[in-house]
Amino acid sequence: MLLISCPNCGSRDETEFHYGGQAHVAYPENPNELNDREWAEFLFYRDNTKGAFAERWLHSTGCRQWFNMLRDTVTYEIQAVYPMGAPRPAAAPPAAESGTASTAPDSTTTGTARPSIAATSTSTASRSTTAPEGATK
Ligand SMILES: [Zn+2]
> pLDDT tens, 15-64?
999 999 999 999 999 999 999 999 999 999 999 999 999 999 999 999 99
Domain membership of residue 74 (yes or no) is yes
Helices and strands of the chain, counted as H and E runs: 1, 6
Q: Is the pLDDT of residue 71 over 70?
A: yes
Distance from residue 123's CA to the centre of ligand 1 (Å): 17
Distance from residue 69's CA to the centre of ligand 1 (Å): 13
Distance from residue 61's CA to the centre of ligand 1 (Å): 8
- Pick from 136, 52, 45, 16: which is nearest to 5 by CA? 16
pTM greater than 0.85 (yes/no): no
Rounded to an integer, the average pLDDT of 60-72 is 97
Alpha helices in the chain (DSSP H): 36-44
- Which pLDDT band holds residue 97 (cuts at 50, 70, 90)? low
Distance from residue 77's CA to the centre of ligand 1 (Å): 19
The number of distinct structural domains making up the chain is 1
Domain membership of residue 24 (yes or no) is yes
Helix (H, G, I), strand (E, B) or coil at 68: strand
Distance from residue 96's CA to the centre of ligand 1 (Å): 31
Domain region containing 71 = 3-93+104-111
CATH of the domain at 39: 3.30.2270.10
